[in-house]
Amino acid sequence: MGRGKIEIKRIDNASSRQVTFSKRRTGLFKKAQELSILCDAEVAVIVFSNTGKLFEFSNCGMKRTISRYNKSLGNADCAVAESKTLVQKEDSKMVEIQREEIAKLETKQLQLLGKDLTGLGVKELQKLEQQLNEGLLSIKARKEELVMEQLEKSRVQEQRAMLENETLRRQIEELRCLFPQSEHMVPSYLQYQLTERKNTLVNTGAGCLNMANNCGNEKGSSDSAFHLGFSAVQEEGPQERNLFK
């Protein structure tokens, strides 16, 4: 049965802490010796207890190992410093190269704009002119592509609108088939006015007839007024009927 895991923390009991320090130190030195023998390595271990007591192990001598360590550490520092110096030099060179490239590009841009042409010869001016012509051709070609794309989009939108209109027209035709128009048309405004006028004349004639009857009954007058009123209604009736025809 193996040992259980031990929590790695400071041991509070002083005697237990001292016993553990002694055992672990011995095991550490044993592992260091085995490492030096098995791997033919130069190993040095330095341990200070909590009371300040020194314990050490070295298979080749502690002073030799420490001097070698200091030398390698100094060499490492020198190597780091040299690498930093080289990096700084390379960075400065790259900065100078980039500055020169930026200056050339700015000069080229000014020349393309027609400025700073004093130092150019005939051949250089011809080359610059050729570059400008090529640039104009490229710009025109791109412009034509954009115009054609816009025309194609407009054509597609037009076809889509025509299809939508055709669909709406078919829907309207289907609705007309489902709901046919009524045979009785709505009378026009003129016919409505003539009808109202006819009704008014009929009502007037009827009123005159009633008045004539009343007058005859009360005063005993002749029936001439009755006949006059009735004849007026008969004369007005056919004319109004002719208007409706």
> How does pLDDT run across 196-214, given as a tens digit for each residue?
666 665 566 555 555 545 5
Q: Is the pLDDT of residue 96 over 50?
A: yes
Burial of 229 (0-12, 13-18, 19+ CB in 10 A): buried
Q: Is the pLDDT of residue 80 over 60?
A: yes
**Proportion of the chain above pLDDT 90, given as a percent:** 27
CATH architecture of 14-82: 3-Layer(aba) Sandwich (3.40)
Helix axes of 62-112 and 122-178: crossing angle, nearest 10 degrees: 80
Burial of 42 (0-12, 13-18, 19+ CB in 10 A): middle
Longest CA–CA span in the chain (Å) reads: 170
Mean pLDDT for the stretch of residues 91-120 = 84
How far is 118 from 121, CA to CA, in rounded Å?
8
Q: Is the pLDDT of residue 194 over 90?
A: no
Whether the Cβ atoms of residue 63 and residue 45 lie closer than 8 Å to each other: no
How far is 32 from 44, CA to CA, in rounded Å?
8
Predicted TM-score (pTM) of this structure: 0.34
Mean pLDDT for the stretch of residues 113-131 = 81
The residues spanned by each domain of the chain are 14-82, 129-181, 189-244
pLDDT the model gives residue 87: 82
